[in-house]
Amino acid sequence: MSGEPSELAPEAPPAPWLPYGRQCLDEDDVQAVVEVLRSDWLTTGPQVEAFEAEFAARVGAGEAVAVSSGTAALHSAMNALAVGPGDEVIVTPMTFAASANCILYQGARPVFADVDPDTLLIDPEAVERLVTPRTRAIVAVDYAGQPCDYAALRAIAERKGVALVADACHSLGGHREGRPVGSLADVSVFSLHPVKPVTSGEGGVVTTDDPELAARLRRFRNHGITTDHRERIASGSWAYEMVELGYNYRLTDIQCALGRSQLRKLDRFTVRRRAIAARYDSAFASVAGVSPLSAVPGAGHAWHLYVVRVAGDRDRWFRALRSRGIGVNVHYLPVYLHPYYRARLGLEPGLCPVAEAAYRDILSLPLFPAMTDEDVTAVVEAVTDTAREAG
The confidence score (pLDDT) of residue 4 equals 60
Q: Is 141 helix (H, G, I), strand (E, B) or coil?
A: strand
In whole angstroms, what is the distance from residue 49 CA to residue 40 CA?
A: 15
CATH topology classification for 266-390: Aspartate Aminotransferase, domain 1 (3.90.1150)
Matching fold, domains 27-263 and 266-390: no
- Residue partners of 369: CB distance under 8 A and separation at least 6: 24, 268, 269, 272, 273
pLDDT at 240: 84
Q: Check residue 238 and give its pLDDT.
A: 73
**Neighbour-count burial for 47-62, b at 16+ CB within 10 Å, e otherwise:** bbeebbebbbebbebe
Give the pLDDT confidence of 135-160 residue by residue, as tens digits: 999 999 999 999 999 999 999 999 99
Query: Residue 233 — pLDDT band, cuts 50, 70, 90?
Result: low
Distance CA 128, CA 153 (A): 9
Residues forming the active site: 196
Tell the burial category of 171 from Cβ atoms under 10 Å away from its Cβ (0-12, 13-18, 19+).
Answer: buried
Which three-class secondary structure state does DSSP give residue 206? strand
What's the whole-model pTM score? Answer: 0.94
pLDDT digits (tens, 9 = 90+) for 259-305: 999 999 999 999 999 999 999 999 999 999 999 999 999 999 999 99
pLDDT above 60: residue 8: no
pLDDT tens, residue by residue, 339-362: 999 999 999 999 999 999 999 999
CATH 3.40.50.150 fits 27-263, yes or no: no
Q: Which residues pair with 180 in a beta bridge?
A: 175
Assess whether pLDDT exceeds 60 at residue 11. no
- Spell out the domain ranges in the chain: 27-263, 266-390
b/e map 238-249, b = 16+ CB within 10 Å: eeeeeeeebbeb
H/E element holding 189?
Answer: strand 187-191
pLDDT higher than 80, residue 228 = no
